[in-house]
Amino acid sequence: MNFLRKVLLVSLLSLPLAACSQPATNAPAQTPSKTEAAVPTVRLNGALPDFTGLVEKEGPAVVNISTTQKIRERGAPFPQFRDLPEEDPFYEFFKRFMPQQPHGGRGAPREYETHSLGSGFIISPDGYILTNAHVVDNADEVVVKITDKREFKAKVIGADRRTDVALLKIDAKSLPVANLGDPNKMKVGEWVVAIGSPYGFENSVTAGIVSAKGRALPGDNFVSFIQTDVAVNPGNSGGPLFNLRGEVVGVNSQIYSRTGGYMGLSFAIPIDVAMDIVSQLKGNGKVSRGRMGIQIQEVTPELAASFGLKDAKGALVAAIEKGSPAEKAGMQPGDVILKFEGKVVPSSSDLPRMVGATKPGSKTKLEVWRNGSSKDLSITLAEWDEPKVAAVASAPKAEKANRLGLTLAEINAEDKRKLNLENGLLVENVSGAAEKAGLRRGDIVLSLGGEKIVSLAQFAKLLDQFKNGKTIALLIRRGEQILFVPVDWGKDGK
């Protein structure tokens, strides 16, 4: 879809709701008198919010962005069916009965253009404009239209796909500038306003409230989104999200939708995150992020219990890259990172943002949980790069199912070399407690209770050390992912 980066088609997990009752006290309950009015939770001040002043003052800083991408491909004799392969029976049918282009075959090379629309806002009087990276992605020409109807060809200074932030520059002076606010001061339930160009309708205004803060979305590890119920549609991408003080607190970026249109869930990039990216793009033309070289996962209550942690918090280290800063710092699989540079890591989704916001080469302090106690580590961060995808193992001869319900098999040396594996057993079949825990056929079991697995005999010996009802943490590899899976075989384990 040209208007939005990729509409989310996954359901978001609901956050647990806290109780709304007042804390218990020893004082007797008091009944308000008839003359004493109850204090309202929501103060209306006689009227609903009036957004007219905000729009009049801040609207001129919002721009419409249109892009053009030139695509050159070998034309088909019937362009409307150009995606059909020649072996498709319908290809021959349309070749006979549809008008032909000259030169025969699949047709002569041809060039056509695609167009998309988006929004943005001016952040400096000399023409710097903030928008989404997906708005200008692969564009050959970017045109910015401001509210006085003037149009300018824009230069893309830089774009960061990981945060979906892009910086543009137009040749203009004395432009109206959007005021920037502090998203950390926002409260859930407060009014916010979006201005943009949904479906090309320029300077459209929609309003709503902040639904949630710090929302983590699949595939977006470097942004803690602001969730709102402001109506945002294709074309709003890159536009500003204002608070009632007329300050930009976010950049509208994504929606949750089953239809492609607005369904009550919109997500904005906090403006402080966006401006940090802007400063790097403006200075270097690219973004640098810190990297530790680890794979992490969420700490569930079951995993926390298996590691002796009181609370399910922090980021669980599932795998460590060879030669990475984490390996050099002495980090181990099974460590739970509790603090990064003195700041608490509430969950695994928070750690990538904290590390990514730290300059590569920085020496950082970590507090990790290992073998029932906390430990301090010092790590020098490298520069972040794209993760590599692992291959899938072949299936060797399997043994019978063990007490967990796992049918395991040893992996030969050639397969280990192809998969870059030092150790592990292949899961041939799953049943019982292992199946309930979510293990799958094709998983590779790397460790049991913190011990690396090198053979079937060793696995069986380690398994015998665990008593019934004990939750066991298995470290597994699944495709490109390495993660811990807690297996609770219950009191009826044999």
Class of domain 61-157: mainly beta
Domain borders along the chain are 61-157, 176-284, 290-383, 406-488
Q: Whole-angstrom Cα distance, residue 420 to residue 45?
A: 66
- 436 or 292, which is more confident? 292
Architecture per CATH, domain 176-284, reads as Beta Barrel (2.40)
pLDDT recorded at residue 22: 32
Give per-residue pLDDT as tens, 334-378. Answer: 999 999 999 999 888 889 888 988 889 999 999 999 988 999 999
Overall pTM surpassing 0.95 (yes/no): no
Give per-residue pLDDT as tens, 196-207. Answer: 999 989 889 999
Q: Is the pLDDT of residue 1 over 90?
A: no
Q: What is the 3-state secondary structure (H, E, C) of the chain?
A: CCCCCCCECCCCCCCCCCCCCCCCCCCCCCCCCCCCCCCCCCCCCCCCCCCHHHHHHHHHHEEEEEEEEEEEEECCCCHHHCCCCCCCHHHHHHHHHCCCCCCCCCCCEEEEEEEEEEEEEECCCCCEEEECHHHHCCCCEEEEECCCCCEEECEEEEEECCCCEEEEECCCCCCCCCEECCHHHCCCCCEEEEEECHHHCCCEEEEEEEEEEEEEECCEEEEEEEEECCCCCCCCCCCEEEECCCEEEEEEEEEECCCCCCCCCEEEEEHHHHHHHHHHHHHHCCCCCEECCEEEEECCHHHHHHHCCCCCCCEEEEEECCCCHHHHCCCCCCCEEEEECCEECCCCCCHHHHHHCCCCCCEEEEEEEECCEEEEEEEECEECCCCCCCCCCCCCCCCCECCCCEEEEECCHHHHHHHCCCCCEEEEEECHHHHHHCCCCCCEEEEECCEECCCHHHHHHHHCCCCCCCEEEEEEEECCEEEEEEEECCCCCC
pLDDT recorded at residue 76: 47
pLDDT recorded at residue 35: 44
Give per-residue pLDDT as tens, 232-272. Answer: 999 999 999 999 999 999 999 998 877 777 888 999 999 99
- Residue 490 CA neighbour count, 13 Å, CB half: 7
* Mean pLDDT for the chain overall: 80
Give per-residue pLDDT as tens, 167-211. Answer: 999 999 999 999 999 999 999 999 999 999 999 898 899 999 999
pLDDT recorded at residue 18: 32
Given the DSSP bridges, would you call strands 240-243 and 191-196 parallel, antiparallel or unpaired? antiparallel
Q: Whole-angstrom Cα distance, residue 362 to residue 355?
A: 10
Q: Which two tokens stand for residue 162?
A: 């990981």
Q: Are 130 and 137 in contact (CB under 8 A)?
A: no
Give catalytic residue positions. 134, 164, 237
Architecture per CATH, domain 406-488, reads as Roll (2.30)
In this prediction, residue 456 has a pLDDT band, given cuts at 50, 70 and 90, of: confident
pLDDT recorded at residue 222: 84
CA distances from 22 to 16, 25, 29 (A): 18, 9, 12
Domains 61-157 and 290-383 share a fold: no
- φ/ψ of residue 352, rounded to 5: -55, -35
230: exposed, middle or buried (C-beta count within 10 Å: 0-12, 13-18, 19+)? buried
Beta bridge partners of 217: 220
Q: Which fold has domain 290-383?
A: Pdz3 Domain (2.30.42)
CA distances from 465 to 282, 403, 471 (A): 58, 12, 12
pLDDT recorded at residue 107: 52
